[in-house]
Chain A
Amino acid sequence: MTTITADAPTGTTPPPAGRAPAGLSDRARSEQRLGWYLVAPAVATMLLVTAYPLGRAVYLSLFSYRLTDPGAREFVGLRNYSVVLTDGLWWQTVFTTLFITVVTVAVELVIGFAFALVMHRIVFGRRTVRTAILIPYGIITVVAAYAWQYAFALDSGFVNQWFGLGDKAWFSDRWSALAVIILAEIWKTTPFISLLLLAGLAQVPEDLQEAAKVDGATTWQRFIRVTVPNMKAAIMVALLFRTLDAYRIFDTIFIMTNGAEKTESVSFLTYRQTITRTALGLGSALSVLLFLSVALIAFVFVKGFRTDLSRVRGD
């Protein structure tokens, strides 16, 4: 993340003190010190649970190490990585995860945009709609997963009944199981993307819309030529956050299929190796690969698509 250029600090603070603490006044020096004191606890807490365990994962990934047999711990170099990367299961898992990510984010972008437009324009019931949309956002993912699983289940479900599908067993086939998983994810997370897009819509200058209207642009033309380009930053940030989030999918798969029918995601596979099988060495290699793939996605967004993160960071 260090590659992101940051804007100069805004606000009415005096200009940055530069790199010569010796030249600072007492006042500026005490401000520096107070600044560090105030951020230190937050930074320490954030790093305690991320930087150190990540370093530990990198270290453990070089060992053959099972928690059930600590005596047999043995340095194996990069062998765990070659085991993972040459295993078909890993690539199948990556494919499943990417498939879920691409489909959910694409569908959410479309639905999210539609919802954002409705929330932006609606006059009657504006408050009710904005309250309703927060419910999927706030609801526990596990609860949402159970609700959708029971809706599609053979014994308790109503979906087969409603749509006359007989006794279709949704969870005993890879693609139909993935379809339900994706549906549950979309339901739960579209509100987040639509709220970010709603905030972006508010930034589009109304007079540009009017000018385009005067020039005879249709509603669709105005949307494509005026609205979308003016909220590109908001769209990219929303896409980045949702893509990373979707790629980390875990809860819904755990509840709905427990990884059966080849529905395992990268997160799920990592969890299964480290916690269920207590194969900490191999699991740590998976953890590192999971981290790297997330970092790669973020890098592609920031460098490739020029997503402006200074807005998110609040510089």
Chain B
Amino acid sequence: MRSSRNRLLWAVGGLVIIVYTMIPVAWIVSLSFKKGDDINNQKFLPTEWSWDNYRTVFDTDLFTSALRNSVGISLIATVISVTLATFAAYAIARLNFRGKKLVLSTALAIAMFPTVALVGPLFDMWRGLGIYDTWLGLIIPYMSFTLPLSIWTLSAFFREIPWEMEQAAQVDGATPWQAFRKVIVPLAAPGVFTAAILTFFFAWNDFVFGISLTATDRSRPVPAALAFFTGESFFQQPTAAISAAAVIVTIPVIALVLVFQRKIVAGLTSGAVKG
């Protein structure tokens, strides 16, 4: 009796969480379907549903180029960052070398770094190096700031991998490098994937670097572009267009969350709590 009542109670709690997470999402979706002056109807739902805003957004160069930049920059940064983190995490989890603790401490310190404190000097440096307002100029900081999380996640995964297999390969005459490539990499693939998702989220979400280190359509990513968005004409409130653009860039996030829920949760918590 008691336990079934409790079960109901927890289910209600679960419902509260779902409502909590969905309301702002539902709201921005609803806004994005409001047409013309309906945007100011002050109701949660549109009076009449319309695809107009999505048409406007896809006809705007500012948005389409930002979307291209965001996808390109995020993917490239993710691939390189996770590759470097994989090397580092393998060394940390499996090899003995001096300076290991220093590497881990550095990673931790960088995860806590206030990014805004860097944009001034970076702005200056990037202009000097000629990579201001380029994809590379954003890829580099995204890599730096996602490496710590990737390194932790991956070293946690790497520790779970059965050691004997690597040793067996080495007994069979494989060098440490071959043992890494042929034995560990396939076993570590799920961990690598988790790190990649978390890295992608970071790059996709970034705003500080996006507005500070870009100036034009050439490299400005979506979050930064949203802040400079205008509607169909400069005299219109951009609310509806921004909402539609916001919904479009939320779709990849929701897709990743739906497919990889278990991996993301494991990755987020692997560093903080062993187990």
A residues touching B (Cβ–Cβ < 8 Å)?
A: 1-2, 4, 6, 9-14, 16-17, 19, 28, 30-32, 34-36, 38-39, 41-43, 45-50, 52-54, 56-57, 60, 67, 114-115, 117-119, 121-144, 146-148, 150-151, 153, 155-158, 160-162, 187, 191-192, 195-196, 198-200, 202-203, 233-234, 237-238, 241, 244, 247-248, 250-251, 254-255, 267-268, 270-271, 273-275, 280, 283-284, 287-288, 290-291, 294, 298, 309, 311-315
Q: Judging by beta carbons under 8 Å apart, are A38 and B116 in contact?
A: no
Q: Which of chain B's residues 23-74 have a Cβ closer than 8 Å to chain A?
A: 24-25, 27-28, 31, 39-40, 42-44
Q: Which of A9, A53, A122 meets B118, CB within 8 Å? A: A53
Q: Judging by beta carbons under 8 Å apart, are A134 and B264 in contact?
A: yes
Which secondary structure dominates chain A's binding surface? helix
Q: Which of A56, A57, A134, A158 meets B261, CB within 8 Å? A: A134
Q: Judging by beta carbons under 8 Å apart, are A46 and B147 in contact?
A: yes
Q: Judging by beta carbons under 8 Å apart, are A148 and B24 in contact?
A: yes
Q: Is B196 an interface residue (CB 8 A)?
A: no
B 116-153 to A, binary, CB cutoff 8 A, 1 in contact else 0: 11111111110000000000000011011101100110
Q: Is B5 an interface residue (CB 8 A)?
A: no
Q: Judging by beta carbons under 8 Å apart, are A122 and B10 in contact?
A: yes
B residues touching A (Cβ–Cβ < 8 Å)?
A: 6-7, 10-11, 13-14, 16-18, 20-22, 24-25, 27-28, 31, 39-40, 42-44, 81, 84-85, 87-88, 90-110, 112-125, 140-141, 143-145, 147-148, 151-152, 155-156, 159, 163, 176-177, 201, 204-205, 207-208, 211-212, 222-223, 226-227, 237, 239, 242-243, 246, 249-250, 253-254, 256-258, 261-262, 264-265, 268-269, 271-275
Q: Name the B residues within 8 Å of A250 (CB-CB).
A: 116, 207-208
Q: Judging by beta carbons under 8 Å apart, are A50 and B110 in contact?
A: yes
A47 to B7, CA, bound (A): 50
